[in-house]
């Protein structure tokens, strides 16, 4: 499997974050607020944690599998942040389901609020 050194980690992190947000929102996200879902520093931390280490020039090294893992983690963080935001605004309800052993979400039947179909 090919390995790649990341020469501009901030630019790479921004590209990964923007691509993940675009993928989740079908290209309809607001680049001005994406940092409220996940910061560049958080993306950089994920890249560093997942990397194969440093090359001889001190650059972080990844391969395709690691790229996929980074992209998935960033996407998951954005998705979870979006769910938290709409739940905190009472646009959806949530609770822990012991039987399913996971958090469940639903739109309240008495909700009069309008749900933004594009929270990004």
C-beta separation of 104 from 117 below 8 A: no
Mean pLDDT of the chain: 89
Contact 61, 23 (CB under 8 A): no
Least confident span in 41-45, 65-69, 92-96, 111-115: 111-115
Q: What pLDDT is stored for residue 95 in this prediction?
A: 84
β-strand pairing of 60-63 with 102-106 = unpaired
Using only C-alpha atoms, the chain has a radius of gyration, in whole angstroms, of 17
Tokens of 74: 């960033």
* CB-count exposure of residue 26 (10 Å: 0-12, 13-18, 19+): exposed
């Amino acid at each position: 499997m090919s390995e790649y050194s990341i020469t501009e980690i901030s630019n790479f992190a921004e590209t990964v974050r923007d691509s993940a947000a675009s993928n989740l929102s079908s290209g309809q996200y607001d680049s001005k607020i994406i940092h409220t879902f996940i910061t560049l520093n958080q993306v950089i931390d994920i890249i560093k944690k997942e990397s194969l280490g440093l090359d001889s020039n001190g650059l972080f090294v990844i391969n395709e599998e690691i790229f996929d893992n980074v992209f998935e983690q960033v996407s998951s963080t954005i998705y979870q942040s979006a769910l938290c935001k709409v739940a905190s605004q009472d646009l959806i309800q949530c609770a822990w389901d012991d039987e399913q052993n996971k958090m469940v979400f639903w739109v309240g039947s008495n909700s009069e609020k309008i749900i933004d179909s594009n929270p990004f």
